[in-house]
Amino acid sequence: MEIFSQIADLQKHLHGLRRAGQSVGFVPTMGALHQGHLSLIEAARQTNDVVVASVFVNPIQFNNPSDLAVYPRTLEADGQMLKAAGCHVLFAPSEAEMYPQPPQLRFDFGNLERVLEGTFRPGHFNGVGVVVGKLFNIVQPDDAYFGQKDLQQCLVVRRLIRDLSFGLRLHICPTVREADGLAMSSRNRNLSLAQRSQAGFIYEQLQYTKQQLLQGGAPQAIKEAVVQAFEQQGAFRLEYFDIAETETLTSIEALAGLKEVAVCVAAYLGNTRLIDNLVIEL
């Protein structure tokens, strides 16, 4: 596996590969890698000749400075995991390399960034848009791989690709979970043992919601029951729990006419913010 920290060196390397007719698959990450990330590498390996991963903790997508401060950074272990997973190229730039000056460009993704994560993380999706757009320009992949775990991010990236005509295919890959259903996340490392044993509750509530929806339950009543269950459980501070339309993530009140819905949740467990979702076919 080749490792680059400079944009120009990476581009030179990829230019050579592309001229040799190799297709490029790209997996952007913020590091502290786990099996969820590696599933994206595996998906890329199945479609592309060359797999490029990036590890960059993007400061401009953190609206909360203390979240950025405690975000795990494990570059050496990440490199080893990527190599073992068959990744060909790792791009791990410094902040100065990515942002020699603070970027002036601003994205507004409309309603998509005014719901769910957008409500609680002002400026987050602008930061995602800037870094993903920049990385797409740097890597110029044929295919890019993102996790459904961050569903709203996937929809924002899809808009970015369409609005700026990036010539690449977006692949949205399934969420990889721990045995108790907890969605794998770099932030899970910050949970205490006691918190880790409680964290499966989020997935239980998603499963409960799925059952209720498939039995024809009314979204509002289900939402109220889940909010109450979180209150009774006590360990979590729920930011949002919503049943939403899958393209726009706007909240829905009735299931009539819908083929699928997204159930989306964000909650703090101690100081750790966890998000998850299920897309449910009705």
Question: CB-wise, 147 or 219, nearer to ligand AMP?
Answer: 147
39/198 with CB nearer ligand AMP: 39
Q: How far is the CB of 153 from ligand AMP (least distance, A)?
A: 6
Q: How far is the CB of 170 from ligand AMP (least distance, A)?
A: 10
Annotation says 124 is catalytic: no
**Is the Cβ of residue 185 or residue 212 nearer to ligand AMP in the bound state?**
185
H/E/C letters for each residue in the chain?
Answer: CEEECCHHHHHHHHHHHHHCCCCEEEEEECCCCCHHHHHHHHHHHHHCCEEEEEECCCHHHCCCHHHHHHCCCCHHHHHHHHHHCCCCEEECCCHHHHCCCCCCCCCCCHHHHCCCHHHHCCCHHHHHHHHHHHHHHHHCCCEEEEEHHHHHHHHHHHHHHHHCCCCCEEEEECCCECCCCCECCHHHHHCCHHHHHHCCHHHHHHHHHHHHHHCCCCHHHHHHHHHHHHHHHCCEEEEEEEEEECCCCCECCCCCCCCEEEEEEEEEECCEEEEEEEEEEC
Task: For the CB of residue 181, give the shortest distance to ligand AMP in the complex, in Å.
Answer: 11
Catalog residues that contact ligand AMP under the rule CB under 6 A. Answer: 29-30, 36-37, 39-40, 146-147, 149-150, 173, 175-176, 183-186
Least distance in angstroms from the C-beta of 178 to ligand AMP? 9
Catalytic residue from among 37, 88, 124, 171: 37
Closest to ligand AMP by CB, 25 or 219 = 25
Where in the sequence numbering do the catalytic residues fall? 37
